[in-house]
Structure 1
Amino acid sequence: MKAAFYEKTGAPDVIQYGDLPTPEPAPGEVRVRVTAAALNPIDVYIRAGVAKMNLPFPFVPGCDLAGTVDAVGIGVTRYKPGDKVWGSNQGLLGRQGTFAEFCCAAEEFLYPLPDGVSEQDAAAAALTGITAHLGLFGRADLKAGETVFVNGGTGGVGSMVVQMAKAVDAKVITTVGSPEKAKTATDLGAVRVINYKSEDVTAAIQDATGGRGVDVWYETTPPADFDKTVELMAPRGRIIVMAGRAARPVFPNGPFYLKGLSMFGFAMFNCSADEQRQCADEMNWWLADKKLRPVIGKVMPLSEAAAAHRLQEENTTGKAGTLTGKIVVVPK
């Protein structure tokens, strides 16, 4: 099979494109003929060696996929050849990834593709959607009528947070860096979009909430100023952190407990298959009802996987601002 892979960690140029043996599904695994895969910041961190994981070389990167079941291993009960599926959790913790014509995945990390939902949309929504859902509902227990703030409302996770909050009748405030991204965030359902390059974010949040503050703060970037965050929280608000491995911000203990706040941290790949399936089940309803649609910024062929990683890295760590939404990679 054709695949993108690397034999050592490093810069995007370590990624090769060529032939690898087609994998055989082990017991409990499903082999998927990949139609679409999506790129995430974690893929960049693993490839660069920043996120340390034991990798079986040659290693195929990629967490997310959508496609058609090609074969099943012994003991598989959920799927059969010909079924359309999507999923995440590949390319992590020693598991081979999705940037290939075929990928073998444990059946518990795959979900049925709803009728009328494209493979590219499902792949693009996978990791970011599950992450957004885990934070909003599994951790923060978001309710209708509450107010959510999320940094980067057109980013991978941010755009999912905006849409999921809207789907349960919560109100969303978000930040963007351009008028074009402001329109996208508004179209996704944000009630207040703040251009952080030209507006005072703190003043805008206070104005949008009438001074009460937000109920859920979903932090998608490495936290650097918890004083500001705590100041902008409503009583009994919840703060979600899921980024910033090296972040060591000062913590305002007094204001935090006097407001009765809570803080939750999590990494999606540490959550159980059952926890993630609950997210995927609700995502499938929203995808089918067109209440959830990923923002796809670029579609690239599998043969250009190194260029795709370079583009993602420039925007994730380099903050280039040249990408809105997800990169989807398609085998040709």
Structure 2
Amino acid sequence: MKAAYITQNGSAKDIIIGDLPKPQIAEDEVLIKVNAVSVNHVDTFVRSGSFETDTSFPFVIGRDAVGEVVETGANVTGFSEGNWVWTNSMGYQGRQGVTSEFAAIPADRLFHVPENVDPIQLVASIHSSATAAIVLKNIFKVQSGSAILIEGAAGHVGTKFVQMAHILGLKVVTTSQRKDFDLLDRLGSDDCLDYTKSLSKQLEKSTISQVDYAVDTSGKVSLADNLRALKLGGQVCLITAPKLEKATFNVRKFYTQSKTIHGFVISNASLDQIQEAGKFINRMMADGYLLEDDVLEKSYTQAAWAHQKLEENAKKKKILLKF
């Protein structure tokens, strides 16, 4: 079968386009014919070795895929030949990736594509959507009626946070460029702030002057600013490093106000969290949410190009590799 793979950790130039044996499925696995794979920053980290995880070479790259079931293992129920399915947790922790004509997926890491949902828009969304779902429901454990600050809200991850937070009953404050205010208003933002202006001054004038939760998807806001925006007992979750990785903040105010700082990467999510997020994502997509990403479709043979562009931050559209 055709595949994009590596034989050692290294640069994007080390990605090989070639033939590998078609995988044989175990009793609890499903063989899918891959249609499209999304390219995420974490894929470049695994490929380069900067994110250490178990890999066996030759190693197929990529973790998020959508495709069609062609065979099921003896112990698999709930999936059958011809079903359209998706996965978002392959290509790390000893599991081969999915940038290949065929992929063997554990059944417990596989989800049905909801009826009438475009598979391309789905696979473009699932990495960001799963991050937002797990942070909101498992890390923050958000409560309806609470307030959340979402920074960089018009990006791939930010738009997912906005929609989910709105659906979960939160009051949503966002930061973005002014040109994105209309979009964020439609997605569920209650108050749109200009990211080029002072956060604290804008919050002072807002009807939501302090929040229960804060997440910066952009990496451009200081940790101190986010901590100041929190109410008593508020929580910040870091899903990327702030631009200035060394943080200075008032420790006394931090602990006397019972605030919390979380760190989260989806590669450390448990299987239970992945499964809960997948079900939530499917429900929202079936209702028309989370499907707004601008997509750039390329052939799987351009995997090295895609990794290089992602590392250079040269493309704003979500890059998908097609078979």
TM-score strictly above 0.5: yes
Aligned to 1:298: 296
Q: Name the amino acid aligned to 2:282.
A: N
Task: State the partner residue of 1:91.
Answer: 91
Query: Which of 175, 199, 202 is the equivalent residue of 2:200?
Result: 202
What value does the CA root-mean-square deviation take over the aligned residues? 2.4
Aligned position for 1:157: 157
Alignment CA distance shift 1:249-1:264 (3 Å) = same
From 256, 266, 269, the equivalent of 1:268 is: 266
Is contact 2:224–2:247 with CA below 8 Å preserved after alignment?
A: no
- Structure 2 unaligned blocks of 5 or more: none
Aligned to 2:191: 192
Choose the corresponding residue for 1:284, options 279, 282, 287: 282
Q: What's the TM-score once normalised by structure 2's chain length? A: 0.90
* Residue of structure 1 equivalent to 2:143: 143
Residue 249 (structure 1) aligns with: 247
In structure 2, do the counterparts of structure 1 residues 154 and 13 end up closer, same or farther at CA, with 3 Å as the change threshold?
Answer: farther
SS of 2:59's partner is: coil
Q: For residues 271 and 210 of structure 1, what CA distance do their matches in structure 2 show?
A: 31
In structure 2, how many angstroms separate the alpha carbons of the residues matched to 1:104 and 1:27? Answer: 11
Question: Is the contact made by 1:117 and 1:288 (CA closer than 8 Å) also made in structure 2?
Answer: yes
Q: TM-score, normalization: structure 1?
A: 0.88
- How far apart are residue 201 of structure 1 and its match? 3.0
Cα separation, partners in 2 of 1:176 and 1:300, compared to 1, 3 Å: farther
Equivalent-residue separation in structure 1 for 2:36 and 2:306 (angstroms): 14
Q: Which residue of 2 aligns with 1:46?
A: 46
Identity %: 28
TM-superposed CA distance for 1:3, in Å, is 1.3
Q: Which residue is 2:173 aligned to?
A: 173
Unaligned runs of 5+ in 1: none
Matched with 2:223 is 226
Cα distance between partner residues in 2 of 1:244 and 1:25: 38
Query: Which residue of structure 2 lines up, in the alignment, with residue 328 of structure 1?
Result: 320
CA distance in 2, matches of 1:192, 1:304: 40
Superposition deviation, residue 125 in structure 1: 2.2
CA distance in 1, matches of 2:253, 2:220: 17
1:223 shift after superposition: 8.2
Equivalences, count:
322
Provide, for residues 269-315 of structure 1, a one-character-per-residue CA deviation record: whole Å limited to 9, x for no partner: 32322222111112111100113324134222211111111221112
Instruction: Deviation per CA, 1:215-236: give whole Å up to 9, x if none.
Output: 1102335587332111111222
Letter in 2 for 1:330: K
Residue identity in the other structure for 1:53:
T
* 1:19 equivalenced with 2:19 (yes/no): yes
Shift of 1:329: 1.7
C-alpha contact 2:153 2:176 (8 A) present in aligned 1: yes
Specify the SS of the correspondent of 1:99. coil
